[in-house]
Amino acid sequence: LIITPVLRNISTYKSSVSLSHLYPKSSLSINYPVKIPENSTGFSGYIPIEKLEITYCKSSGPGGQNVNKVDTKVDIRFHLQSADWLSEDLKKNISSKCKNRINKDGFLIVRSDKTRSQLYNQADAIMLLREMIRRAATPTSISPSEETLHLLRKRREKANRERIVEKRMHSLKKGRR
């Protein structure tokens, strides 16, 4: 069997919407390791799925017979202190802000049974986990200085004085009628 040159030309043809044209700087390899972007807050939004323990169980709520047959509830957990993809400061913030979601063994637990789909619930649980970590990564507001508190107090007192003067003027105007 002889392969004609026409078949060779077809195999080298690349469409304008082929992956190599859409992503020219990408290696297009599945086994290529993902580069984790760095962020100044310490969390880039990247959560390594292989470091999470994901389990499925039967969901509660409406759904008829489907609820009794299909494991749609998602339970995501990871050991907070051994998570090497989080900085130490971020771990401390998470443990203080999310202490009701951490069990006695030190696992942070996120559950989702919003939908009747296992995949959607898994995506929702990962999104909840990402938001929890982002909230812990944002710095807490610091208390204002004594000078600022003094200025705010003076402004409030002045506004109250002006309000009382306005009330007196209004009552005098009404009294003259």
Q: Tell me the per-residue pLDDT of 93-106, one tens digit each, with 9 for 90 and over.
A: 999 999 999 999 99
For residue 95, give Cα distances in angstroms to 16, 37, 48, 60, 108: 49, 24, 19, 28, 9
- Residues 81 and 106: beta-carbon distance below 8 Å: yes
Its pTM stands at 0.60
Q: Tell me the per-residue pLDDT of 50-71, one tens digit each, with 9 for 90 and over.
A: 999 999 999 887 777 777 888 9
- The average pLDDT across 16-33 equals 74
For the chain, give the mean pLDDT.
85
Q: How many CB atoms lie within 10 A of CB 125?
A: 23
Residue matched to tokens 């470091």: 51
Write down the H helix ranges in 87-145.
88-97, 118-137
Pairwise pLDDT comparison (53 vs 45), residue with the higher score: 53
Element (H, E) at 79: strand 73-79
Q: How far is Cα 136 from Cα 99, in angstroms, rounded to an integer?
A: 11
* Domains of the chain as residue ranges with CATH: 34-137 (3.30.160.20)
User: To the nearest whole percent, how much of the chain has pLDDT over 90?
Assistant: 49
